[in-house]
Amino acid sequence: MNLNELEYLSKALAKSTSASVRLYQRENQVYYYSVYPMNPDPFLLYEKDMLQSEQTAGIITTDLFQFYGYVSLDGDYRIVIGPSSILTKDKDKMDNLLFLLDVKEKYKEEYIGKLECAPSISAERIGWLLSFIASAINKNPLFVEDVFVETKSENHQHDIMNSSIQNTFLFSDEKEANTLIVDNYQNEKMLLFYIKNGQPENLKELFSAFPKIKAGTMANDTLRQLKDMGICCATVASRASIEGGLNVQTAFHLSDLYIQKFEMLRNSASIYPLIKQMLLDFAERTKQAKYNCNNSSKLFLRCANYVSENLFDNIKVEEMAAEFGISRCRLCTQFHKQTGITLTQYILQKKILESQRLLQFTNKSISEIALHLAFSSQSHFQTVFKKYTGITPNRFRDAKSDL
């Protein structure tokens, strides 16, 4: 892309995110656009480190816990986006920022106001933006796992790893923006939905592909805060699994086991992986309880994987049996023997389960969902939905929207 095209891209990026965007060629800034321009640009404090970084793409956090993201492009260009909204309200750190930028006293209130207008963009979203830009322009895929997040303190490490687990269960007075509260609540509902319905594969997708994190020295109270968050996760996950059919005693025993593991940890870096392991464990056990099978049931796992991969197609048992190299009769008989339900029932259950997710978390119409899940008609979908849930799709959506 030439300079004019990159300038247009930078402006479009700024418009779409409401964030400030800068375009550099080597050490020189050749373009800048912001819907709330600040003079001086707070990025000047981080410009040298970011421009000299050898990483193709990365994200840095400031003392006020704002994000700046950068990505290198062909032709020695580098795009910088940020800052995001302030998540750590600290008067001393704000005063230090204004001092370093030499903001005059009479302009301080206006400058702080503009800083507070920065958009709420998580590190995760910035990481995906950078991945998309680099992959589209350089014609060479940049995976989001290769976007490094650098933070000065591990005190904020759990905040950076937000949407899939951490922000879901983190109740912080610092996060006052309504958009963040709504996003976090939606994340929590989605995560618990997968546990309740025994969908560990969907959870793995939810947890996957997050930017790598480089953390510094841990703050004194961080470990306790993260442990409490892990304990909170164990509590709500056990409740979701019980609702999904897991034995109450088993769910509580599993919860107690993981709580003990959290208490035994001595560093915060170990907590996030343990939370993921725990939630996947709950989802897997709920799945086993729902279908009366275990990991040794290779036939069930093959069927489950096949249905998951072809969920939006018209799944035919004959074709599944042919792919497995067994007869339709044998496949159906063995599946029913191992799970207690027919293969057709299982397929419809999974389709209805996915339709519930679409009804709850998207704005797709009933007819669109029916078509998306390969039902023969909207009326057929509605009939099957009511058979398995006891209510119509519209009533289900209305009930969930009231929560």
Q: CATH number of the domain that 125 lies in? A: 3.30.450
Task: Give yes or no: residues 160 and 215 share one domain.
Answer: yes
Instruction: Give the whole-angstrom CA distance, residue 23 versus residue 153.
Output: 28
Half-sphere exposure of 184 (CA within 13 A, CB side): 19
Give the strand order in the sheet containing 212-214: 28-33, 21-25, 77-81, 67-73, 57-61, 148-150, 212-214
Q: Choose one of 150, 172, 193: the last residue of a domain.
A: 150
Span 336-361, pLDDT tens digits: 988 888 999 999 999 998 999 889 88
Average pLDDT of the chain to the nearest whole number: 82
Task: Give yes or no: residues 306 and 259 share one domain.
Answer: no
CATH code, 384: 1.10.10.60
What pLDDT does 161 receive?
Answer: 45
Span 198-208, pLDDT tens digits: 888 888 876 76
Task: Give yes or no: residues 124 and 208 share one domain.
Answer: no
Q: Choose one of 291, 319, 342: the last residue of a domain.
A: 291
Backbone CA torsion sign across 108, 20, 96, 101: negative
Task: Give yes or no: residues 225 and 272 share one domain.
Answer: yes
Task: Give yes or no: residues 9 and 119 share one domain.
Answer: yes
Task: Give yes or no: residues 52 and 131 share one domain.
Answer: yes
Span 68-105, pLDDT tens digits: 999 999 888 999 999 988 877 788 889 999 999 999 99
Domain ranges, residue 181? 154-291
Task: Give yes or no: residues 15 and 124 share one domain.
Answer: yes
Among 58-67, 180-189, 249-258, whose mean pLDDT is lowest?
A: 180-189
Query: What number is the average pLDDT over the span 133-156?
Result: 72
Query: What number is the average pLDDT over the span 38-50?
Result: 89
What pLDDT does 208 receive?
Answer: 62
Instruction: Assign 107 a pLDDT band (cuts: 50, 70, 90).
Output: confident
Task: Give yes or no: residues 135 and 160 share one domain.
Answer: no
Instruction: Give the whole-angstrom CA distance, residue 315 versus residue 204.
Output: 24
Task: Give yes or no: residues 49 and 176 share one domain.
Answer: no
Task: Give yes or no: residues 128 and 201 share one domain.
Answer: no
User: Per the structure, how many domains does the chain have?
Assistant: 3
Task: Give yes or no: residues 121 and 205 share one domain.
Answer: no
Q: Choose one of 80, 115, 150: the last residue of a domain.
A: 150
Query: Which residues 6+ apart lie within 8 Å of 361 measured at CB?
Result: 186, 189, 190
Task: Give yes or no: residues 176 and 279 share one domain.
Answer: yes
Q: Is the predicted pLDDT of residue 49 greater than 60, yes or no?
A: yes
The one-letter amino acid code at 145 reads E
Instruction: Give the whole-angstrom CA distance, residue 225 versus residue 228.
Output: 5
Nearest 10 degrees: Cα torsion 132, 137, 142, 144: -20
Distances (CA, A) of 220 to 160, 223, 228, 267, 268: 18, 7, 14, 11, 11
Task: List the beta strands (DSSP E) in 271-401.
Answer: none
Contact between residue 247 and residue 241 where contact means Cβ atoms under 8 Å apart: no
339 SS3 class: helix
Q: Is the predicted pLDDT of residue 209 greater than 70, yes or no?
A: no
